[in-house]
Amino acid sequence: MKKTVKTSKKGFTLVELIVVLVILAVLAAMLVPALVGYVDKAKKEKEYQTAATVYGAAQATITEMYGRNKISKGSTLSLGTSTWGPQVIKLAGVDSKAVTAFSFTYGDNFIISGGTVTISNHVYTLTIDTANGAPSWSGET
């Protein structure tokens, strides 16, 4: 009687490996554009948050200037304003190279009534809702 020997082939064939690689390539081609969109959205959101931080620091600086009798109504606080402008950036704790300009106008009670912040060549415009005083930002890309 003849014995039959069972040979077991372990592993994948070349065709199977190529099919898996093609599937992975298609999935990667679909994911990369979506991920790039998420990265761009995150950068824009970071810039909005930076603009809001600069706004808060500017309001604190204006309050300090008012306490020291260094300002008058209807003036503007900007990055080039003597030592007060750079103080806003320092107080905000943001990257001074990213924030290239800002300008805030303040009026009654020395509260900011509007302004702009330029971050990485994107200008973000601040508007204040007159009904409730809430700040809102719009940006250009």
Diameter over CA atoms, the chain: 112
Residue range 89-137, pLDDT digits in tens = 899 998 888 888 999 888 777 788 889 999 988 899 998 887 887 888 8
Q: Strand 135-139 relative to strand 76-78: parallel, antiparallel, unpaired?
A: unpaired
The structural domains of the chain, with segments of one domain joined by +, span 51-139
Task: Check residue 73 and report its DSSP letter.
Answer: T
**Spatial separation of the C-alpha atoms in residues 81 and 86, rounded to whole Å:** 8
**CA 18 to chain CA centroid, nearest Å:** 41
Residue range 35-60, pLDDT digits in tens = 888 888 898 888 889 999 999 999 89
Angle between helices 84-92 and 14-67 (to 10 degrees): 130
pTM: 0.73
